[in-house]
Structure 1
Amino acid sequence: MKRRKLYRVNDLIGSPMAPSVSLIAPAYNEGLTIVENIRSMISLEYNNYDVIVVNDGSKDDTLRNVIEAFDLVEVPFHVNAKVNTKEIVSVYKSLNRSFKKLTIVNKINGGKADALNAGINVSSSRLVACIDVDCILENDALQRMVKPFMEDSSVIASGGVVRIANSCEVEHGKLLKVNLPTNSLARFQVLEYLRAFLLSRMAWARLNGLLLISGAFGMFDRKLILMAGGYSTDTVGEDMELVVRMRSMMTRAKRKFKVTMIPDPLCWTEAPSTNEILAKQRNRWARGTYEVLKKHTYLFLNTKYKITGLFGYPFWFFFEWMAPLLEFSGLVYFVFLLLTGSVSWTYFLTLLVMFYCFSIFISSFTLYAEEISFYKYGQVKDQLKLLFAALLEPFVYHPKVVWSSVKGNLDIMKGVKSWGEMTRSGFKKVKIAKPNTQ
């Protein structure tokens, strides 16, 4: 019975009967890459979808480049706003039928969450897929993301595995060849992303306790997003906050729901290649985590919210938010013990070796899982480089992440709210795809 059901789903995915999808991409100062990115989005292998690019008050030539490249003209518009957003100034459609799927929304700057809400207001599709405009999607990404919604009516959101695109070969917005990043900082993040998506998030999805779908690429039931009130504009962790709020809403309504994760690499995005940009990104992630946890404190060990309250929220509280703070505090205390001559070197070295070996085991197991499943880094030299990165990570990369998280929490006390500027390099002919991550 299940096999016959899957056959019908597979048969429908490539037909006009498949659920309608709006691919919504906010754009702010993306003049370098916007044309290539849009070309990529309008050429995906899915019949029933449209692309809504929201120009969020860009100050560069983003809008002009798009108008010229796709023969756009301003059209009359009326938006039945279900969620309040900054004013929409104009809407553009193409004179060229080859680009009929494309809609450009030009609005006053209000931030990423506000731009996504504007796109959701303009959309009339059953499903919305929210994406960073400078990410690269696999050709069949929409087909794979839609499948859980067609197989199970209780699915409210679905996420895809995000991979690092640094040093990959790209042409016309299409990923031609996967390469391991030449930049050592980006290489550490390949390992980090593999652990996060292949192990952690897949496990939480299996338990139906997933609280975060990456802002780089996620798909949602549009009606339920509107019922939940859209993306929150008062946090820099809007992607996680929306999922938590939707889960809470469905639990209170006593409705069955699932938040799923597609194990396949569907989206390729940039990893920061400098310490400065990495610090800004992780600072923002720390602030976003704190803001979401603070906003939903009612979930903490609350049996009414089942796995979300009993396991999901406490995990994020202790292991995602508090862990860097405790680790940093432990290092400060260790320095104090050194200065006072109170260190027990036997215990210290034992614990150090034990935790180091555990870290290497987890990373090695992740690389093994990647090797037997997706084989994206199939060359022996690439596998050895990743293994070498795993050996260095606890001492070279991890301290940077911890300090950035601590700095993010200090910035919370100072009232810092900004997203932070993330430098983009643009596409290099057929060389490197350098999109942005979240």
Structure 2
Amino acid sequence: MLLALQTFILLYFITLNLSFALSLYIAAKELGIILRSNEDINLKSLLERDFYKPISLLVPAYNEEATIVASLNSLLNLHYPEYEVVVVNDGSKDNTAEVVKAYYDLYPAVIYTRKLIETKPIRAIYRSRKYPNLLFIDKANGGKADALNAALLHSQYPIFCAMDADSLLDSQALLRSARQFTEDDTLIATGGTIRSLNNAETSYGQILKLKAPVKWIERFQVVEYIRAFLAGRTTLSNLGMLLIISGAFGLFKRSVVLEVGGYRTDTVGEDMELVVRLHRHMREKKRPYRISYTMDPICWTQVPDDWRVLRKQRNRWHRGLLETLWNHRQMMLNPRYGRIGMLAMPYFWLFEALSPLIEIGGYALLMVLIMLGKINFVFASMFMVLAVLSGILISMSAFGIEAFMRNRYPTSKDRLLLLLASVLENFGYRQLIAWERLVASFQVFKKKGQWGEMKRQAIKT
């Protein structure tokens, strides 16, 4: 029994690491193609094209007074021919509404919409005298998904971009994302790369100088985000198996999202749940479609700078993952859903949902064998190589690819700090995150959907 368990754990990590290595290879090739194509397609040529589609930016906000102005300035200064920004204040307890009203000179407005989706009551709607394309909705608290649904109902354009209120968009992100909808009529959703904003200097919502964060917990997350988006999302997208588009930045066809009923309000993973439901809907209707990710558009977001908030965030993320997989369990190994049912769902169950149980179980088994005096040297050494050393190599490789090809961190000191973080995260940080995800696995049906509160830092300007 022990031998079988040891063999399973080792085979699991071998498969996981091989998939990461393959993903990094694919990501490096993809990034090279993107960088070469960007040299040929500059901002001026994108702006001069007349086949763009107007976009609605949906920004749910809850207790965001520290970052809301910087975030909205970023959105209101994007290079895009025609778009609107729809902000929803979801019953904030701080001064979010007052800050926005004063800064953007808001006045009451009346807008009539068809209530295709039920939401919490809307208290008031405002427009801005400074920015005619800014719409501000003040409503009773209902959670992030409910706020997104309210924004969706009041949006007017065929494509919408769902965002977080503490995020900043690269000035060209919308152009480079939206052009995919003009190039492929079957595209119904696309996501972009998310990066850490912590310690960056900004001006009018744009990054002036990117620096390594001050705290190690923030640096670990910088490396973590690079690895997750560079290696994971790129390969899944290329294989047509993408089940997640980050809630911080994703573009969708409005009509298709309304078809499926908007965002579900009874889950903490509304972003992933919507993507899986879109896959399911289109497969059941037998309609051609595509859901993609591109590493080119960049969205900058604040990451937690203390362990308590980070634990809550990762707990919420893992519960959202498990809720989504469970709610759509009928798709699992169901040929009706093609590669989504036969490949993507099993992959996410095995290498995402169950990964904390297997990883923590591996460490627990190792300690039990040591205490019983039955330590298997081959198992112990191979487990540490696969669980720790391979993790270091994968993180360093991901950061190396990003640093070499993009060179976003200008100083050698910052690059060395983050390279060191890619090593140190494997000694404690990764195990603590795995433990919190394991805890979340036993809380998934106990905790209900709610806003993930995080103490915000004022964005440096």
TM-score by length of 1: 0.92
Counterpart secondary structure, 1:218? strand
Does residue 1:27 correspond to 2:67, yes or no? Answer: no
Counterpart secondary structure, 1:204? helix
Equivalenced residue count is 423
Once the 2 structures are TM-superposed, how far is the Cα of residue 208 of structure 1 from its aligned partner?
1.5
Once the 2 structures are TM-superposed, how far is the Cα of residue 136 of structure 1 from its aligned partner?
0.7
Does residue 1:189 correspond to 2:221, yes or no? Answer: yes
Provide the C-alpha distance between the structure 1 equivalents of 2:429 and 2:134, rounded to a whole number of angstroms.
41
**Match 2:76 to one of 33, 42, 45:** 42
Does residue 1:58 correspond to 2:92, yes or no? Answer: yes
Cα deviation, 1:299-334, whole Å, max 9, x if unaligned, reads 111111111111111111111110101222233333
Runs of 4+ in 1 over 4 A off after TM superposition: 9-17
Does residue 1:278 correspond to 2:310, yes or no? Answer: yes
Counterpart secondary structure, 2:395? helix
Once the 2 structures are TM-superposed, how far is the Cα of residue 14 of structure 1 from its aligned partner?
4.6
Counterpart secondary structure, 2:444? helix
In structure 2, the partner of 1:390 is: 422
Provide the C-alpha distance between the structure 2 equivalents of 1:414 and 1:336, rounded to a whole number of angstroms.
31
User: Aligned in 2, Cα 1:13/1:246: closer, same or farther, shift over 3 Å?
Assistant: farther
**Paired amino acid for 1:57:** G
241-250 or 265-274: which moved more? Answer: 265-274
Cα deviation, 1:318-376, whole Å, max 9, x if unaligned, reads 11110101222233333332332221234312431344332222122212321332221
Does residue 1:172 correspond to 2:188, yes or no? Answer: no
Cα deviation, 1:240-263, whole Å, max 9, x if unaligned, reads 000000011111111111111121
In structure 2, the partner of 1:434 is: none
**Match 2:116 to one of 66, 82, 102:** 82
Conservation of the 8 A alpha-carbon contact between 1:35 and 1:66:
yes
Provide the C-alpha distance between the structure 2 equivalents of 1:427 and 1:226, rounded to a whole number of angstroms.
34
**Paired amino acid for 2:305:** S
Counterpart secondary structure, 1:395? coil
**Paired amino acid for 1:367:** F
Once the 2 structures are TM-superposed, how far is the Cα of residue 13 of structure 1 from its aligned partner?
4.7
Provide the C-alpha distance between the structure 1 equivalents of 2:340 and 2:382, rounded to a whole number of angstroms.
36
**Match 1:249 to one of 266, 281, 297:** 281
Mapping for residues 29-428 of structure 1, pairs under 5 Å: 29-96=63-130, 99-428=131-460
Q: Which runs of 5+ in 1 are unaligned?
A: 431-438
Provide the C-alpha distance between the structure 2 equivalents of 1:211 and 1:266, rounded to a whole number of angstroms.
19
User: Aligned in 2, Cα 1:392/1:12: closer, same or farther, shift over 3 Å?
Assistant: closer
User: Aligned in 2, Cα 1:392/1:11: closer, same or farther, shift over 3 Å?
Assistant: closer
Once the 2 structures are TM-superposed, how far is the Cα of residue 47 of structure 1 from its aligned partner?
1.2
Counterpart secondary structure, 1:66? helix
Once the 2 structures are TM-superposed, how far is the Cα of residue 264 of structure 1 from its aligned partner?
1.8
User: Aligned in 2, Cα 1:265/1:124: closer, same or farther, shift over 3 Å?
Assistant: closer
Once the 2 structures are TM-superposed, how far is the Cα of residue 63 of structure 1 from its aligned partner?
1.1
User: Aligned in 2, Cα 1:418/1:67: closer, same or farther, shift over 3 Å?
Assistant: closer
Aligned-pair identity in percent equals 39
225-234 or 329-338: which moved more? Answer: 329-338
**Paired amino acid for 2:453:** E
Provide the C-alpha distance between the structure 1 equivalents of 2:209 and 2:154, rounded to a whole number of angstroms.
35
Conservation of the 8 A alpha-carbon contact between 2:396 and 2:423:
no
224-233 or 262-271: which moved more? Answer: 262-271
Conservation of the 8 A alpha-carbon contact between 2:366 and 2:380:
no
Once the 2 structures are TM-superposed, how far is the Cα of residue 39 of structure 1 from its aligned partner?
1.8
Conservation of the 8 A alpha-carbon contact between 1:211 and 1:240:
yes
217-226 or 348-357: which moved more? Answer: 348-357
Q: Which runs of 5+ in 2 are unaligned?
A: 1-36
Once the 2 structures are TM-superposed, how far is the Cα of residue 387 of structure 1 from its aligned partner?
2.3
Provide the C-alpha distance between the structure 1 equivalents of 2:328 and 2:262, rounded to a whole number of angstroms.
16
What is the root-mean-square deviation in Å for CA atoms of aligned residues? Answer: 2.1
Conservation of the 8 A alpha-carbon contact between 1:14 and 1:143:
no
User: Aligned in 2, Cα 1:36/1:352: closer, same or farther, shift over 3 Å?
Assistant: closer
377-386 or 248-257: which moved more? Answer: 377-386
**Paired amino acid for 2:342:** L
Cα deviation, 1:77-132, whole Å, max 9, x if unaligned, reads 22212211111121101233xx1110001111110000001111001101000100
Provide the C-alpha distance between the structure 2 equivalents of 1:78 and 1:274, rounded to a whole number of angstroms.
43
Provide the C-alpha distance between the structure 1 equivalents of 2:311 and 2:381, rounded to a whole number of angstroms.
29
**Paired amino acid for 2:123:** V
TM-score by length of 2: 0.87
